[in-house]
Amino acid sequence: MPKLPGEASHLILRVAIAVPLYRLFDYLAPNEVDANDLAPGIRLEVPFGTGKKIAYLIETSQHSEISLDKLKPIERILDDKPLLSAKDIRLLHWASRYYHHPLGEVFSAAFPASLRKGKTSSLQLPSLAYALTDAGMATPAEQLKRSPKQQQALAHFQRHHPASLSEPELAQWDENWRSAIKALLAKGLLKQIASENLSVSQHTVENALATKLSTNETTFDDTNNLQLNTEQQKAITAVVNSLGKFAVFLLEGVTGSGKTEVYMQIIRSVLERGQQVLVLVPEINLTPQLEERFRQRFSVALALSHSNLTDKQRHSAWLNMQQGISAILLGTRSALFTPLKKPGLIILDEEHDASFKQQEGFRFSARDVAIMRGKLLNIPVLLGSATPSLESLHNANQQRYQHLILSQRAGNALKPRLHLLDIRNKKLQHGLSEALINELRSVLANGEQVLIFLNRRGFAPTLICHGCGWVARCRHCDANMVIHNYENLLRCHHCGREQRLIPNCPACKTGELMALGLGTERVEEALRELFPDKALVRLDRDTTQRKGSLERYLTQINNGEADIILGTQMLAKGHHFPNVTLVAIVDVDSGLFSIDYHATERLAQMITQVSGRAGRAEKPGKVILQTRHPDHTLLNTLIREGYSHFAQIALAERKEAALPPFSYHALLRAQAGNPNLPLAFLQAAATLAKTYKASQTQILGPVPAPMEKRAGLYRYQLLFQSDKRSDLQLCLTELITNIDSITHAKKIRWSLDVDPVDLF
């Protein structure tokens, strides 16, 4: 635009900042910069309040609604070029609109902490690398068991293919790698290698491919000689034929049906095209197994991103993908936005898992955003699960996703058999019936492993007085305190409050206090008494808090050093226990009657997932479910006809009740220390929303949250339901635009959850 004489020549920078405000901020550009050098997406540092903040450039403009003399200049420009592609920036804009979340916070979610804090985006190039010597290859890692770190390092090299690792890769593996590597060098087990001898993983994806081809290796896949079954082959062909364009696939296959094998064969094709793969898993705990399988199979650089890594490790993983140095990224939900220089494929394993949904702040579904990302990047998205979500099955039924099914267990493995065990009027020993105990006894006598599942940690969920009926409640929550016997305390599982386990009833002073209900600690005690000479491993959040403890337990289990494996939902997630031949689900009933319509889907997924741990390989598995509702329709459908059949019936029920995925939900939640404020806020929001012409959006509530008081805050919610997503979105957009006009909006905490996965 031509400048008028006398008009100040000021370029306005409109930026997004990670603050919970639905607006952008205007700043002045430094005089010397040219608008053409400032591409949307670059990071800037700007003065904000009394300090400074990192900002993301959204657009430049000649005009501001704020008068020029009130605008502040930016402090500095951090990037020459945006670190995100134009398409990924479009994705963030879309996500901000779809989830009605402030753009600055959405941008911030796409960057690792280091870059959010303004760290530079230059990546130090690897200078040194290490490789196994002949002695290093020949020495069993166990020989170093007196220095566990060295043992781990040696094993890591031996597993790695090819057996050389650069310093940044070692730093990815473990922050404190240096001393162990030094020791191994001194022992002659490792040697330092010059940079021209670096493994292919030191090069970019394309170079890696070129190196491979020039050495006459035509494939990345050096170890594979499996005979794929027809269904696997069909699934691989379908996805491989879609590389280079957008399509969504739902790969449904029972545990052990060879899904991971299918992923790896498809990944190979993507790598051969010189492209990268983003693999998302729901839990950090699932990355080590997959990491190991990928490393054995592929010789390209693998990056990891999850919350157990340091900021530095995540920083380099992010940049390695962004610059095309790593070919595969394995990560959890937060890795979804990692930029890909050569995007080829997105895989979401265990797509049904609720942890793909972020439950605080920017409440996004990694699955749904991944699909939008695939669409924008024009690449396929592969969703895999043994127990697909009802949403994804619905999309498959509607032909929006291509449904790929693996119905057989790979190899010769047999499917487990499920049995309902009626425990009505049966004598129970800490929750275990006589019939179950006998089954356990005979399996253990055969030297086989049993797995016992109970989805509640602690000793017992309730402490009650036998004299007067007093119950230990949390002062800050609508919840009972859970007894933790080992630590000798009562703990609230909702706010974390703790107190010493009391010897006497505080109400009547004389009554005897009793533990009511079951937790894993209690079942552990019972099992140790029943089977004193058997080794037991308990896996729950309490026993696996220390870093590395879960891995240690899993190794013990796989080495056959555990006879009894007891645990919570941690057991339902992906870990393979090939020697388990009996699975017992102690209590299915607690999942049968919930006010949240998602509960039956979750229960069916959990039962199926836990069952899938039994009887891989050649040993058939047996699954016993203790219940007081042996005639329950859901349980019977699931057990007789399997998860797919259950899911179709559950979908029919959702349709009948006009619940998602046959309608669309959003939940406006509000909380405050004073119950009147959030209630008044939601009432005002409901009134406001009803004035908009989104005729098909129903507004239900406000009602108290299922747990009305939590951590000292009173919680209420307002449900928006519509048959048309566009209607719902219009209504929410209007509401959010005007929400600050509600009197109490600033005194309470509120949040909007689009497509909520639970109603709590």
Instruction: By CB under 6 A, name the binding residues for ligand ADP.
Output: 226-229, 232, 253, 255-261, 410-411
Shortest Å distance, C-beta 260 to ligand ADP? 3
Q: Which two tokens stand for residue 194?
A: 């010059």
Q: In one letter, which amino acid is 610?
A: V
410's contact among ligand ADP, Zn ion, none, with CB below 5 to 8 A by partner kind, is: ligand ADP
Q: Is 492 in the site for Zn ion (CB under 5 A)?
A: yes
Strand, helix or coil for residue 339: coil
Shortest Å distance, C-beta 293 to ligand ADP? 8
**CB closer to ligand ADP out of 71 and 405:** 405
113's contact among Zn ion, ligand ADP, none, with CB below 5 to 8 A by partner kind, is: none
Q: Which residues pair with 28 in a beta bridge?
A: 12, 73
**CB closer to ligand ADP out of 231 and 439:** 231
Q: Is 14 in the site for Zn ion (CB under 5 A)?
A: no
Rounded CA gap, 491 and 514, in Å?
Answer: 16
**CB closer to ligand ADP out of 199 and 260:** 260
288's contact among ligand ADP, Zn ion, none, with CB below 5 to 8 A by partner kind, is: none
Rounded CA gap, 406 and 612, in Å?
Answer: 14
H/E stretch holding 498: strand 498-500
255's contact among ligand ADP, Zn ion, none, with CB below 5 to 8 A by partner kind, is: ligand ADP
Q: Which residues pair with 672 in a beta bridge?
A: 714
- CB neighbourhood size of 361 (10 A): 15
Shortest Å distance, C-beta 130 to Zn ion? 50
Rounded CA gap, 117 and 603, in Å?
Answer: 41
Part of the chain binding Zn ion (CB under 5 A), chosen from 83-91, 158-166, 453-461, 490-498 = 490-498
Rounded CA gap, 322 and 205, in Å?
Answer: 11
**CB closer to ligand ADP out of 578 and 675:** 578
Q: Which two tokens stand for residue 300?
A: 């390209």
| 8 A C-beta contact, residue 416 and residue 611 | yes
Rounded CA gap, 398 and 396, in Å?
Answer: 5
399's contact among Zn ion, ligand ADP, none, with CB below 5 to 8 A by partner kind, is: none
Shortest Å distance, C-beta 511 to Zn ion? 3
Shortest Å distance, C-beta 277 to ligand ADP? 16
Q: Is 477 in the site for Zn ion (CB under 5 A)?
A: yes
Continuous H helices in 14-164: 86-98, 103-110, 113-116, 134-138, 148-159
Of positions 48, 470, 597, 662, contacts Zn ion by CB under 5 A: 470
Could you write out the DSSP letters of every residue in 251-289? EEE-TTSSHHHHHHHHHHHHHHTT-EEEEE-S-GGGHHH
**CB closer to ligand ADP out of 256 and 660:** 256
**CB closer to Zn ion out of 470 and 662:** 470
- CB neighbourhood size of 664 (10 A): 20
Burial class of residue 155, CB neighbours in 10 A (0-12, 13-18, 19+): middle
408's contact among ligand ADP, Zn ion, none, with CB below 5 to 8 A by partner kind, is: none
Shortest Å distance, C-beta 407 to ligand ADP? 12
Buried b (16+ CB within 10 A) or exposed e, 234-272: ebbebbbebbeeebbbbbbbbbbbbbbbbbbbbbbbbbb
Q: Is 276 left (phi over 0), alpha (psi -120 to 50) or beta?
A: beta
Part of the chain binding Zn ion (CB under 5 A), chosen from 116-124, 443-451, 492-500, 642-650 = 492-500
Shortest Å distance, C-beta 498 to Zn ion? 10
Shortest Å distance, C-beta 250 to ligand ADP? 14
Shortest Å distance, C-beta 490 to Zn ion? 10
Q: Is 467 in the site for Zn ion (CB under 5 A)?
A: yes
**CB closer to ligand ADP out of 269 and 722:** 269
Shortest Å distance, C-beta 532 to ligand ADP? 34
Q: List binders of Zn ion among 493-522 (CB under 5 A).
A: 494-495, 497, 505, 507-508, 511
Shortest Å distance, C-beta 384 to ligand ADP? 8
135's contact among Zn ion, ligand ADP, none, with CB below 5 to 8 A by partner kind, is: none
**CB closer to ligand ADP out of 261 and 524:** 261
Continuous H helices in 538-672: 549-558, 599-611, 633-656
Q: Residue 555's closest CA among 107, 260, 66, 152?
A: 152
Residues that bind Zn ion (CB under 5 A): 465, 467-468, 470, 474, 476-477, 492, 494-495, 497, 505, 507-508, 511
